[in-house]
Amino acid sequence: MKKTFVIVLSTLLLLSGCSDSDDNFSDSGLFNVPLNGSCLMVNMGNYSESNGSIGLLYYGQPIDQNVFKKANGYPLRSIIESATITDKYILLMCGNEDKVEIIDKRTFKEVCPAITGIGLPRYATIVGNFAYVTCVNPTWTDSVGHIVKLDLTSKKTVTKIKVKGNPEGITHIGDKVYAASANGIYQIDTQQDKVESFIALKQPTVTARYFVIDADGDLWLSYSSYDENGNGTNCGVAEYTPGGDSFKRYIPLKRMNGDAYIDLAPGKQTLYYMYSSEIVGGKNPEAETRIYAVDLTEGSVMEKATCTGHGFYGFNVDPKTGNIYTANVNGFITNSMLSIYNSNGQLLQDGLMTGVGTCRFYFYQ
């Protein structure tokens, strides 16, 4: 990928450089980079090497890489599927180690030994002092996965809630948790920790993937199937109003990755999704990848891609600026290269080195 900076007059404070030093740590162990406006980067790592890591970037400051290792003196020794940020903690879903790491939001130090033995954690949502974590079946068959409830006070597992399929995305509205699994949504009552209902998509063979919540408080669920080459088929997003017994609207998408990852622009009326010409990961140079927009109000899909590049494995949108963060993962065999676009698809920065398998971006508010 080109290592050329595109200078945009309206964006003077861009990220500069990449640092592996301890310059941003104070003598007290606290991070000196202001967290408000910072972005936590999840570098998934390579499964065979278990070299996942996290980094922190802030406008006008160098990127701090491997902040977990710097803060704790040892690496995570796992791949990282995702992160969830609370008012005090960062929870890291460490897939191939079957554990959830809980670290301090400011110092990045472990607050307790990793919670282990919960089985391939994927994503989490926070309800009060509890985390609900999706965990897939270790065999990856469409049989039984589960939602694990963790007590963030005692740092222990409370219970496991079985669901059909391999749950991925999870969110909550009030005291109701919604998990994407099999071909629909499981609604879970957090008072009883029991499944209340299952809302099925009209296509029985598709798999539910991820959620976003729009400006009206409706859930949008992405769904997809895989063809023989691993590409997404029969893909789209579906709208669900909490309390309903069915989906109210479907927007089919002819171009979408099988992973079906989605995010929202500020205002929560524009949805973004990814497409790649072939499966991303395991090679270099990587396949061409694009990010497209959907107008949720009109239900219209933009024919022209907002962003185009190579090797995008994941992305997220800054909820304040609307800038789109993504990276070329370079086959998961070397460091990724960060790209930042504005909402018009204009490249703000390119070629900034991050970690291995950079795929998720979380913005401190």
Six token digits for residue 218? 């409706």
The C-alpha atoms of residue 117 and residue 205 are separated, in whole angstroms, by 31
Q: What is the CATH number of domain 118-196?
A: 2.40.10.480
Q: What is the pLDDT of residues 228-262, one digit of tens each?
A: 666 677 899 999 999 999 999 999 998 888 889 99
Percent of the chain having pLDDT more than 70? 87
Q: What is the DSSP letter of 72?
A: H
Q: What is the pLDDT of residues 293-306, one digit of tens each?
A: 999 999 999 999 99
Q: What is the pLDDT of residues 165-177, one digit of tens each?
A: 999 999 999 999 9
Strands 63-64 and 80-85: unpaired
Q: What is 274-289 written as a DSSP string? A: EEESS--SSSSSPPEE
Average pLDDT, the chain: 87
Six token digits for residue 364? 């401190």
In the chain, where the domains are located: 15-115, 118-196
> What's the pLDDT at 119?
85
Where are the alpha helices (H) located in the chain, listed in sequence order? Answer: 67-72
Q: What is the pLDDT of residues 129-160, one digit of tens each?
A: 999 999 987 665 557 789 999 999 999 999 99
Residue 270 or 60, more confident: 270
The reported pTM is 0.90
> What's the pLDDT at 34?
63
Q: Is the Cβ–Cβ distance between 107 and 29 less than 8 Å? A: yes
> What's the pLDDT at 258?
81
Sequence letter at residue 87 = D
Q: What is the pLDDT of residues 275-296, one digit of tens each?
A: 987 888 777 788 899 999 999 9
Alpha-carbon Rg for the chain, nearest whole angstrom, is: 19
Q: Is the Cβ–Cβ distance between 78 and 95 less than 8 Å? A: yes
